[in-house]
């Protein structure tokens, strides 16, 4: 799928008509927009505008699921908005899609002078200039009503006796306290529900006071212990920021170094990630999986405590020319084998069958001996014993590492993780990032470039020169490149299982391997055009690579 300013094109080998799968994307254009001077007022006005035109788009048949609108933002400025749904989906699906897009728009752009969210089934955009032609359905929402309302209120307030005003204030105060108490009750219920969700699958007991008791599998810590370890979440201890929270370095009382993930306090996705991590990692133990030392849940604070990895993550080395040269091929080979064994454990050897769904270099941590450990199980899913595939309506993960059947149709399986592993393998060998490779070397992606060179017998042109130490090393790298290409084939059935990959990586002999078919659908980028032709860009939000899909 590819987006332009005036159209979008999509094709698939599966029927996607009438199926709404939301996958909102942020074009890099959003990051280039200037900040607004009054974001609070912008949020109020923009919410009013977008809600109105979204409702008309979804539920008024005359709009044909497309509407524009405008509203005065200030004396000199007007906000222009546009929303659209594909006409194959239902009214309800259109409304749900636009609600999700509006949530994404709030996160990225409510403090900017413009913003756009594109997805498979709906698009949403606003600017401080008219960016569209007149449409058959256009709302002009008057701001003057607000001014007249304020004038009327001024008259009323000045005329109402002070006694009535006091009653109003008292009523508001009572109402506020009642709502606050009701919200606290709801929060307490949610807290108890979460505690029971955590306790049931992990075999953890809950006291009458509602506290979780540590078990053999999982250790619960107090918030005060973690705050002391991280120096009250000091900025100097901050290691990084992810989509669902912030990671801090800490030191426990016994001198043990830890990494603490502080999940977003009000994020529903952060809550889901917390439950996933605790329930999954409590049952997983493997040399190549990061170890969860404990967790804490108090009020809105949800914290995960991991073993500290002094050598950070794999992306820190493979995409930095200086750091990359610090490691030899033997070390990289051990890292590759470690990742493969960790995935094999998740897919076949653990008590559960688990699909990671977000395998990428930044989620491969390295300990003091450079042993690879897979981390971040917030998006992982458990499969039943005889289950081979699953489908989701909300695609999560990182574009550039997602298998095409998952990115485009929401279908995922163990072969989705195999695809991600293949991308990482090719990135290690080349020192290049798939998501930032677009249209370099006359190829759309790193995968297409690798496959072309392999077909031409020019594999060593693909390899980072610092890795080539000897003729033996060269043969090993060629074999790894071949395995990587087998993993990124378009048809999931053609990709090997991780058990086969581990066997191939460990086989010292250079046996004939199957010929890889052309790589999966190219992971391209969103293309935008404003007034003049705009260069192709690679959007990124919160440090996560977000790319669109385009045909090869």
Question: Could you tell me which residues are beta bridge partners of residue 413?
Answer: 389
CA within 13 Å, CB half, 247: 17
Beta-carbon contacts of 150 under 8 Å, excluding residues fewer than 6 positions away, are: none
Specify whether the CB–CB gap between 271 and 194 falls below 8 A.
Answer: yes
DSSP string, 334-349: HHHHHHHHHHHIIIII
SS (H, E, C) 141-157: ECCHHHHHHHHHHHHHH
Specify whether the CB–CB gap between 254 and 235 falls below 8 A.
Answer: no
Q: How far is CA 223 from the centre of its chain?
A: 27
Q: How far is CA 152 from the centre of its chain?
A: 47
The span from the CA of 376 to the CA of 242, in Å, is: 10
The span from the CA of 295 to the CA of 302, in Å, is: 8
Sort strands 66-72 and 138-141 into parallel, antiparallel or unpaired: parallel
- 456: its two tokens: 């031409």
The span from the CA of 186 to the CA of 205, in Å, is: 23
DSSP string, 511-526: PPPPPPPPBSS-----
User: Looking at 320, 328, 333, 358, which residue is catalytic?
Assistant: 358
The span from the CA of 340 to the CA of 414, in Å, is: 12
Q: Is 507 a catalytic residue?
A: no
The span from the CA of 433 to the CA of 466, in Å, is: 17
Stretch (H or E) spanning 85: strand 78-85
Q: Binding site residues, as ranges?
A: 261
Q: Binding site residues for ATP, as ranges?
A: 261
Q: How far is CA 445 from the centre of its chain?
A: 21
Catalytically active residues, by annotation:
358
């Amino acid at each position: 799928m590819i987006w332009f300013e005036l159209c979008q094109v999509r094709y698939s080998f599966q029927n996607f008509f009438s199926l709404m799968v939301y996958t909102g994307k942020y074009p890099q254009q959003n990051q280039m927009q200037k900040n607004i001077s009054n974001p609070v007022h912008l949020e109020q006005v923009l919410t009013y505008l977008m809600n109105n035109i979204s409702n008309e788009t979804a539920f008024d048949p005359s709009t044909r699921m497309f509407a524009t609108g405008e509203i005065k933002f200030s004396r000199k400025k007007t906000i222009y908005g546009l929303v659209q749904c594909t006409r194959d989906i239902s009214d309800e699906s259109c409304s749900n899609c636009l609600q999700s897009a509006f949530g994404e728009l709030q996160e990225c752009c409510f403090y900017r002078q413009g913003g756009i969210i594109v997805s498979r089934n709906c698009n949403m955009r606003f600017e401080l200039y008219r960016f569209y032609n007149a449409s058959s359905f256009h709302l002009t929402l008057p701001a003057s009503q607000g001014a007249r309302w304020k004038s009327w209120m001024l008259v009323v307030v000045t005329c109402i006796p002070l006694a009535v005003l006091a009653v109003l204030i008292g009523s508001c105060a009572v109402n506020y306290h009642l709502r606050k108490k009701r919200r606290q009750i709801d929060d307490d219920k949610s807290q108890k529900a979460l505690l029971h969700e955590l306790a049931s699958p992990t075999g953890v007991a809950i006291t009458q006071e509602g506290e979780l008791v540590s078990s053999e599998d999982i250790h619960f810590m107090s918030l005060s212990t973690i705050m002391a370890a991280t120096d009250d979440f000091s900025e100097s201890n901050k290691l990084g920021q992810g989509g669902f929270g912030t990671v801090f370095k800490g030191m426990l009382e016994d001198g043990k170094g830890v990494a603490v993930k502080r999940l977003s306090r009000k994020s529903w996705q952060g809550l889901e990630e917390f439950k996933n991590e605790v329930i999954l990692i409590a049952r997983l133990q493997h040399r190549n999986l990061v170890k969860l030392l404990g967790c804490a849940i108090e009020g809105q604070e949800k914290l995960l405590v991991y073993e500290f990895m002094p050598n950070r993550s794999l992306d820190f080395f493979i995409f930095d020319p200086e750091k990359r040269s610090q490691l030899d091929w033997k070390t990289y080979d051990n890292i590759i084998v470690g990742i493969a064994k960790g995935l094999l454990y998740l897919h076949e050897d653990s008590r559960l069958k688990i699909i990671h769904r977000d395998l990428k270099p930044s989620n491969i941590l390295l300990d003091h001996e450079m042993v690879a450990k897979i981390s971040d199980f917030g998006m992982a899913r458990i499969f039943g014993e005889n289950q081979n595939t699953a489908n989701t309506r909300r695609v999560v993960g990182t574009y550039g590492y997602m298998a095409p059947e998952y990115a485009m149709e929401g279908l995922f399986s163990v072969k989705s993780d195999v695809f991600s592993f293949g991308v990482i393998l090719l990135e290690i060998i080349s020192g290049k990032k798939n998501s930032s490779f677009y249209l370099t070397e006359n190829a759309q992606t790193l995968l297409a470039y690798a496959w072309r060179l392999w077909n031409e017998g020019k594999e060593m042109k693909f390899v980072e020169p610092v890795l080539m130490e000897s003729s033996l090393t060269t043969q090993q790298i060629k074999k790894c490149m071949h395995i990587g290409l087998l993993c990124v084939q378009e048809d999931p059935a053609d990709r090997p299982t991780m058990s086969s990959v581990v066997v191939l990586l460990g086989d010292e002999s250079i046996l004939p391997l199957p010929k890889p078919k052309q790589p999966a659908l190219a992971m391209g980028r969103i293309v935008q055009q404003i007034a003049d032709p705009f260069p192709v860009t690679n959007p990124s939000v919160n440090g996560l690579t977000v790319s669109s899909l385009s045909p090869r």
